[in-house]
Amino acid sequence: MGIFDFLSGQFIDVIHWTDDTRDTMVWRFEREGHEIKYGAKLTVREGQAAVFVHEGQLADVFTPGLYMLETNNMPIMTSLQHWDHGFKSPFKSEIYFVNTTRFNDLKWGTKNPIMLRDPEFGPTRIRAFGTYTVRIKDPAMFMTEIVGTDGEFTMDEISYQIRNIIVQAFSRVIAGSGIPVLDMAANTADLGRMIAAEISQIVAGYGIEIPEFYIENISLPPAVEEALDKRTSMGLAGDLGKFTQYSAAEAMTRAAANPEGGGGMGAGLGMGMGMAMANQMANQMTGQMGGQMAGRMGGPQGRWGAQPAAQAAPPPPPPVEHVWHIAEGGETKGPFSKAKLGRMATSGEITRETYVWTAGQDGWKRAEDVQELAQLFTILPPPPPGT
């Protein structure tokens, strides 16, 4: 082999990159000390860009196409190398291929709940997750700001930073949107556009963009969801009495289906509920039968003067007695009944100026300003005997 054949073997004639990893963003063309021959062919495919770095300085960026590496299409390299059109010397440069296609189906989510002030529920917390896409918009800026000298840069190396930016922007947009939590599901598209615009302003400094951003779910903490479910169930139940009967029947069904799991307590509970429901049904049937018999007998007395069985009306519930708290020396004492407060007023433990509070009262009030307690200070005992 001649010397010229040996030298020609040291040069690389074709420079290209094919990638099937689907997550590589930047790949450096490995030359292993080989020099790039003047006039070599550079193939840049669709969805790629080639960045030339010469002696640590970014020289050229090539978009998709087939190039002959010569001075007429490498003006910056020519000025760096002081080439002229007649000098055809090999050169050494680092060539980075940049993937400019979209990286799809990337996940994001809130690691911790986000605090916000909801117009209906007040202070609450929410979680959210979704997907987004990333694309390198400016290969030169991306190489300068992010990649540096990394020979193989993947999406995993920057996804964590992007997720942090997304969560920060999501928190800021959601907290300032004023949209109620119950209406967020109907506004995810608008929220997604607002958040994408917020994110794009930040990642533009990295040479990348977020073409698509999706919010898949916004949820409340389990405790809040449970309370919301109960509130919804109460609204759907309608008649509270019928809902109670339905719940009792469901409990009996579950107890009968699982006699071993509930043990004697489950059986006793089922029997007790069954007897209560049977008595209620019997009372209803008795009332209906009595009314029908009275109608057939010809009015309230009937043809034979029989009186229908009168059902005794249940007694009214006893009045609810208020209990009171008093404020004394910066501390709250009680609760005390009205009778107890009367004895304390007699002994001088409380006065008209003593502040009192009971359930349903709007804040603390002086005892003389509460109609129910004012009489404690107006009733004076009669004079003692012997005077």
- Count of the separate structural domains present in the chain: 3
Q: In 3D, which of 47, 6, 53 has the Cα closest to residue 31?
A: 53
Same domain, residue pair 121 and 138: yes
Query: Could you give the CA distance from residue 212 to residue 134 in angstroms, rounded to a whole number?
Result: 8
Low pLDDT (below 70) residues in the chain: 1-12, 31-35, 70-91, 234-243, 246, 256-311, 318-320, 379-384, 386-387
| Domain span at 355 | 324-377
Same domain, residue pair 77 and 155: no
Q: What is the DSSP letter of 146?
A: I
**Single residue among 49, 71, 99 that ends a domain in this structure:** 99
Q: What is the CATH number of the domain that holds 359?
A: 3.30.1490
Same domain, residue pair 75 and 46: yes
CA distances from 132 to 10, 104, 328 (A): 45, 7, 61
In a domain, 357, yes or no: yes
User: Is-contact 97 49, C-beta < 8 A?
Assistant: yes
Same domain, residue pair 109 and 213: yes
The whole-number pLDDT of residue 77 equals 47
Q: What is the CATH number of the domain that holds 142?
A: 3.30.479.30
Cβ neighbours of residue 54 closer than 8 Å, sequence gap 6 or more:
77, 80, 81, 91, 93, 94
Q: In 3D, which of 183, 180, 185 has the Cα closest to residue 128?
A: 185
Same domain, residue pair 145 and 184: yes
Q: What is the DSSP letter of 331?
A: E
Same domain, residue pair 176 and 87: no
Same domain, residue pair 160 and 175: yes
The whole-number pLDDT of residue 279 equals 62
Q: In 3D, which of 119, 109, 112 has the Cα closest to residue 183?
A: 119
In a domain, 315, yes or no: no
Same domain, residue pair 18 and 124: no
In a domain, 332, yes or no: yes
Same domain, residue pair 218 and 156: yes
In a domain, 70, yes or no: yes
In a domain, 309, yes or no: no
In a domain, 150, yes or no: yes
Same domain, residue pair 205 and 154: yes
3-state secondary structure of 110: coil
In a domain, 261, yes or no: no
Q: Which pTM value belongs to this model?
A: 0.53
In a domain, 236, yes or no: no
Same domain, residue pair 68 and 112: no
The whole-number pLDDT of residue 102 equals 94
The alpha-helical segments, DSSP class H, found in the chain are 3-9, 75-81, 139-142, 156-177, 188-203, 222-237, 240-257, 259-296, 338-347, 371-374
The whole-number pLDDT of residue 76 equals 45
Same domain, residue pair 67 and 156: no
Sign of the dihedral defined by the CA atoms of residues 69, 72, 76, 80, in that order: positive
**Single residue among 193, 224, 255 that ends a domain in this structure:** 224
